[in-house]
Structure 1
Amino acid sequence: MVLPKAEPTKSYWIEAAESPLRDYRSTEQLPHETDVVVIGSGYSGASAAYWLHKHTQHSAKQPQVTILEARGICSCATGRNGGQLRPHAYSRYDKWSDAFGPEGAMELIRHEMAHLPAFEELAKEEGIAEEICLKFGETFDAAMTDEAWTRLKTAYDNMRRDQGANSDVVRQCRVIEDAASAEEFTQMKGVMAAIVHPAGQVWPYKFVHALLRILLEAGNLNLQAHTPAQQISERDAAGWITVTTDRGSIRAKAVIHSTNAFASHLLPEFGKLIGPERCTLAALKAPASFIKHTGAQHWDGTVNNYHLQLPEPYNAIILGGGRQLLVHKADECFPSDDDDKQFEGMADFFRTWGTSDVKDWPGSAALSLPEDEGGCWSGIETFSADGWPFVGSLPNRDGQFIAAGFVGHGMPRILLSTAHITPLVLDSLGMEYKQPTLTAPYPALPRPFHVSAERVEKLQAFDLAVKMESFRASCKESAMKPFCLDERSRPKIQRVDSPVE
């Protein structure tokens, strides 16, 4: 695995935020040493640093933390995602129950659901809710076909059967089976039925930059943009780990790897375990408060769209998915880290969404920014060999920790996952700390997330070629279905006229 592309496509989240921390360096030179190096300045890196601060803010000594970022601050996955703080409240129940049993499935669901109050409490304590455009409400899964409805409703029914109608999670979900009512709630044309549950939305780039600003103001963070880490040593006899960058070396007592799809650049044992998948989003112009709820449209198990609308003065609708078109471009999606390239025809596809998919769309089909200036962009999410993140102490790497591999679903997983790492890091440093009230009421790290030597060793047998073939087969199957064969979804075929004889 190589480092992220040097010149990625421009993302609305980044361009419209106009953050002063975008290319920030706390000091002209790297510090010679620090207590903790965090590699990666996205959601997982920033939240890990934040929890280190919160656990020790009342202690006699706080750790000095240095964050290294290969590109601009928060310019990778977190600066390019969908912005939905949207737990899998029911839709993965069957899959997770088959793997871990009904209670194991609920452990995973409750961990995701807990991110809603966790975000709310953190934003309230720090006074950043308005700044980061944090909102809570209901989200929907809109079934656009019988196939999609069967899958969604079966998952909900099975959870209700196993957990009971009075389960805390079941009671937060509701079913809209009448098509007219579903269309009224979702604003989606052609919807057959929908399932609704609580969710939130956030400007992820602004959230990360707000956390980093708080840490900089506290005085225990050194932030270094455009400083790619190239090598990492083992812990030496004096307890130091040396991280070598393009701008020199820095030594630390502990290192947190928050590099998501790019983890194997420094951790070759993760070469088969974590990798990149290329996705795409766009920002569309719309009247203020036009979209009432965040949501997702589902046609089958592969094809979907998802969206939210930002509050005033932005008003942009952030739209992702576009799988009706992308299933025809499987080789460009997975595996791929090409977030420096646009998918051909993608911006035009997204421009059609309002008039083709949305009830009472006002008629505009414009992007909020020009296509190559943040109106449409590519982003890299991760795949994981077994489908789960890797969170905790790295086996056989004393003093090193990881929070990576969140398979495109990090927003309702990372905040409380990195809170789990903090005590491990502070224990390794021998520092005194106290669990902050912000983390006290929330569930423990789900068991599938834990890193272990056995898990890492077992997954070395993972065959990427098999996963690639499975991905291509599912895309090929979807590509032959009617909803992927309409005029806007079919790839444009270039006609080559015969030469004149």
Structure 2
Amino acid sequence: MVLPIDNPTKSFWIEGAESPLRNHRTTEDLPKETDVLIIGSGYTGASFAYWLHKFTNENGTTPKMVMLEARDICGGATGRNGGQLRPHFYSRYKNWSERFGSDGALKIIEHEAAHLKVFDHLLGEENLKEKVCFKLGETFDAAMSDEAWQRLKGEYEKMKFDHGENGSIIRECRLIESQKEAEEFTQMKGCLATVVHPSGQVWPYKFVHALLTILLDAGKLNLQANTPASEISERGSDGLITVKTPRGEIKAKTVVHATNRWAGHLMDEFSKLIYAGRGTIAAIKAPEGFLKNTGAQHWDSVINNYHLQLPPPYNTIIIGGAKPLTVHDPWQYINNDKEDEQFKGVPEFYAAWPKRDVLDWQGKDPAEFEKGTNEGGVWSGVYSSSIDSFPFVGPVPRREGHFVAAGFAGHGMPRILGSTAHLAPIVLDSLGIKNYNQPESAKIFPPLPKPFLATEERIDNLQNIDAIKKFQDEHTDNISSSKKIFAAPFPQIVTD
């Protein structure tokens, strides 16, 4: 049985939000029965519950919903990620087009890109933009080496070749090939060139808590913190599924698994398909409006950093990745659940990053964290890795009444909202609720990409992949990167 670690490192997103929902329990006792049981209270679980509410609120057919969370509310990956709403507009195109064809790759990109419009519409409709620090703007992939620029430009050129300069997506991307102009735009010292495209940013933890507040205020959700699901049954003769917790049992007509990395905890068929990855992030004090755009630095296909700056009154820089350093010991992040530990040397790496990497840094050197290193200033967090790099969304094959949206492969922000918008009407149909209306914001999404679907064929075929070999190959590739000239030296790191 695999459950989240009890005492994870503290995250600025969580500690800085000071949400009253952190350990919320709507009722003192666990309800005995519900229509829909959602396991997981992060971005996936909260957005799915929100869509159920929006699809049915006008006609009063909203099913009873209970949400279980193993730890505190939204204390997992969503409360620990980088805050970037950053679709892959072009940077995975070669791989995806080889696997799914040029049109298949474009459909994935269009689905991710649609999240920018949906977030804008949804948060505007709910009057939440300022509350959750939402911004739309531009982001960049800064090439910090010739190797990185060859790869980034190659992705862009391949997509432009396949779809033409007038394609709706490629038209939104642009190259800056002058080093001087690239440095000025990215504010990154030594940036050789860059690709720029639309993006967004949000305080992910506040976003989730805002959605949950809407549901709680409407009386549409029973939310139960610190209540891990330990066992699930098949659907019984009464038509209900029994879920066991340390606080008792609850029966449900349907169960929605929104547990991302931990989906295999209750469903063995996902234990070889969805596994852990561990990332690291920091929150740095900065002058107001100092960084103009979100972005990422790339040295090769492995070594990178990514960052954003929050709007006033926070002004905090969120910096993640630290791969120039952590790449020396890849087992720190490959198939690793230890979010109760800091990465080796990472606090010092982040403190030195602004002066070392950012043009005209105006803050202190070394930089100050918004909170103490172990009080929310620097943290680690578990995200999911997927065996084929795509999530699993839909009815779970051979498990009547069970549905899944999990395995978002460290890239959930521009994938989850559309995935749960797709899943909501499927669950309503399964409950026999037909009289519902698709909300305007959900209509913006194109159909869910086929590689996301949790089909029986896909799940069965993927069982044959040797995950251990995949981990070893990834480790070997990362160690190769660690020996390149641009890997940050750190003699205490184990390199064997």
Output aligned runs, 1:388-399, within 5 Å: 388-399=390-401
How many correspondences in the alignment? 491
Secondary structure, counterpart of 2:448 in structure 1: coil
2:436 to 427, 430, 433: 433
Kept in 1: contact 2:61–2:436 (CA 8 A): no
What TM-score results when the alignment is normalised by the length of structure 2? 0.98
Kept in 2: contact 1:328–1:491 (CA 8 A): no
Q: Which runs of 5+ in 2 are unaligned?
A: none
Alignment partners' CA distance in 2, 1:271 and 1:439: 31
Alignment partners' CA distance in 1, 2:342 and 2:244: 32
- Aligned equivalent of 1:56: 56
Output aligned runs, 1:77-88, within 5 Å: 77-88=77-88
Quick one: which amino acid aligns to residue 427 of structure 1? D
Alignment partners' CA distance in 2, 1:369 and 1:208: 22
- Aligned equivalent of 1:6: 6
Alignment partners' CA distance in 1, 2:159 and 2:66: 44
Q: What is the CA distance between 1:196 and its match in structure 2?
A: 0.2
1:367 to 366, 369, 375: 369
Quick one: which amino acid aligns to residue 241 of structure 1? I
Q: What is the CA distance between 1:344 and its match in structure 2?
A: 2.0
- Aligned equivalent of 1:386: 388
Output aligned runs, 1:204-223, within 5 Å: 204-223=204-223
**After superposition, what is the alpha-carbon deviation per residue over 1:10-66, rounded to whole angstroms, capped at 9, x for unaligned?**
000000000000110001000111110000000000000000000100123211111
- Aligned equivalent of 1:136: 136
- Aligned equivalent of 1:423: 425
* Matching of residue 404 in structure 1 with residue 386 in structure 2: no
1:482 to 454, 468, 485: 485
Alignment partners' CA distance in 2, 1:157 and 1:86: 20
Kept in 2: contact 1:325–1:491 (CA 8 A): no
Q: What is the CA distance between 1:493 and its match in structure 2?
A: 6.5
Secondary structure, counterpart of 1:442 in structure 2: coil
Kept in 2: contact 1:304–1:323 (CA 8 A): yes
Alignment partners' CA distance in 1, 2:218 and 2:493: 57
- Aligned equivalent of 1:497: none
Structure 1 segments, 4+ long, off by >4 Å, are none
**After superposition, what is the alpha-carbon deviation per residue over 1:131-157, rounded to whole angstroms, capped at 9, x for unaligned?**
000000000000000000000000101
Alignment partners' CA distance in 1, 2:420 and 2:438: 13
Q: What is the CA distance between 1:167 and its match in structure 2?
A: 0.7
Secondary structure, counterpart of 1:71 in structure 2: coil
- Aligned equivalent of 2:318: 318
Alignment partners' CA distance in 1, 2:289 and 2:236: 56
Quick one: which amino acid aligns to residue 341 of structure 1? E
Quick one: which amino acid aligns to residue 406 of structure 1? F
Kept in 1: contact 2:149–2:193 (CA 8 A): yes
- Aligned equivalent of 1:145: 145
Q: What is the CA distance between 1:315 and its match in structure 2?
A: 1.0
1:377 to 376, 379, 387: 379
- Aligned equivalent of 1:458: 461
Kept in 1: contact 2:328–2:493 (CA 8 A): no
Alignment partners' CA distance in 1, 2:224 and 2:10: 21
- Aligned equivalent of 2:266: 266
- More deviation, 323-332/395-404: 323-332
Quick one: which amino acid aligns to residue 238 of structure 1? D
Alignment partners' CA distance in 1, 2:462 and 2:373: 40
Q: What is the CA distance between 1:490 and its match in structure 2?
A: 1.8
Q: What is the CA distance between 1:481 and its match in structure 2?
A: 0.7
Q: What is the CA distance between 1:363 and its match in structure 2?
A: 4.2
**After superposition, what is the alpha-carbon deviation per residue over 1:365-401, rounded to whole angstroms, capped at 9, x for unaligned?**
1111100000000011111111110000000111110
- Aligned equivalent of 1:334: 334
- Aligned equivalent of 2:244: 244
Kept in 1: contact 2:344–2:493 (CA 8 A): no
Q: Which runs of 5+ in 1 are unaligned?
A: 495-501
Alignment partners' CA distance in 1, 2:460 and 2:174: 42
Secondary structure, counterpart of 2:242 in structure 1: strand
Kept in 2: contact 1:382–1:408 (CA 8 A): yes
Kept in 2: contact 1:110–1:443 (CA 8 A): yes
Q: What is the CA distance between 1:116 and its match in structure 2?
A: 0.2
Kept in 2: contact 1:284–1:316 (CA 8 A): yes
- Aligned equivalent of 2:195: 195
**After superposition, what is the alpha-carbon deviation per residue over 1:399-452, rounded to whole angstroms, capped at 9, x for unaligned?**
110000000000000001101111111111111312112211320100000011
- Aligned equivalent of 2:253: 253
Q: Kindly report the root-mean-square deviation, in angstroms, between the aligned alpha carbons of the 2 structures.
A: 1.0
Alignment partners' CA distance in 1, 2:357 and 2:486: 12
What TM-score results when the alignment is normalised by the length of structure 1? 0.97
1:448 to 447, 451, 461: 451
Alignment partners' CA distance in 1, 2:61 and 2:159: 47
Secondary structure, counterpart of 2:291 in structure 1: coil
Quick one: which amino acid aligns to residue 139 of structure 2? T
**After superposition, what is the alpha-carbon deviation per residue over 1:207-244, rounded to whole angstroms, capped at 9, x for unaligned?**
00000000001111000000000001111122101111
